Amino acid sequence: MRPYPLRHEWVFWHDRNNPNAVTEEEYAEQLKEIAEINTIQSFWQVINNTPFQNLPLRDSLHLFKKNVKPIWEDPRNKNGGAWTFRVPKATSFDFWKEILLAAIGEQLQDSVEKGDDICGISISVRFNSHLIMIWNRNGENQKSIDQILETVMKVLPEEMKPVPSNYYVSHACLVCSS
């Protein structure tokens, strides 16, 4: 059986929380590339063999397009934005998987305006929930921002759709200055 190629190449990253990392360089050093994927088969190989449920508090996993690092300072992210969804741990793996599939299946990319781009997807462990983020290149493009949310609501099964108080959008310039 031949591999089924993806339109874009992607990289899975692990971000091990280090509260002492304060500079951009220190933060970038804690990012470790897990795997590059370019086929459906390589995607499932990573998903099925990553101990998602064992991630420590404040650690993150990221799936970003190749040559884009999961940091706001990356040139592809510096003017970007992100939808953040606070998801209960009981349903977060299924939510994460649906969003990842929408990313590699190009549903998210097809939802943004020309000149914008989906950069990546992140999941971060918090005490009683996970934060799942969808990063896009142009944080000022309101039409793209609205369409990303619309696509998320279309791809999620009814029982997984978050209530409005559990999601928000932020912009790189606001995140970097805080």
> Mean pLDDT score of the chain, rounded to an integer?
93
In this prediction, residue 178 has a pLDDT band, given cuts at 50, 70 and 90, of very low
CA nearest to 137, candidates 77, 70, 83, 82 = 77
Residue 118 confidence (pLDDT): 98
Q: pLDDT tens digits, residue range 31-50? A: 999 999 999 999 999 999 99
**Helix or strand (DSSP H, E) at 14:** strand 5-15
Q: What per-residue confidence (pLDDT) applies to 26?
A: 83
Taking 90 as the threshold, does the pLDDT of residue 52 lie above it? Answer: no
What pTM did the predictor assign? 0.93
66-73 average pLDDT score: 94
pLDDT in the model for residue 77: 94
Model pLDDT for residues 122-170, shown as the tens digit of each residue: 999 999 999 999 999 999 999 999 999 999 999 999 999 999 999 999 9
Distance CA 8, CA 105 (A): 9
Q: What is the total count of domains within the chain?
A: 1
Q: Contact at 8 Å (CB) between 118 and 104?
A: no
Return the amino acid letter for 8.
H
Closest CA to 104 of 3, 1, 10, 4: 10
Q: CATH number of the domain that 148 lies in?
A: 3.30.760.10
**Which of 3, 32, 53, 167 is closest to 99 using CA atoms?**
167
Render pLDDT for 83-131 as a digit per residue (tens, 0 to 9): 999 999 999 999 999 999 999 999 999 999 999 999 999 999 999 999 9
Q: What percent of the chain has pLDDT over 90?
A: 82
Could you tell me the residue range of the domain that residue 96 belongs to?
5-176
Give the separation between CA 87 and CA 23, rounded to whole angstroms: 29
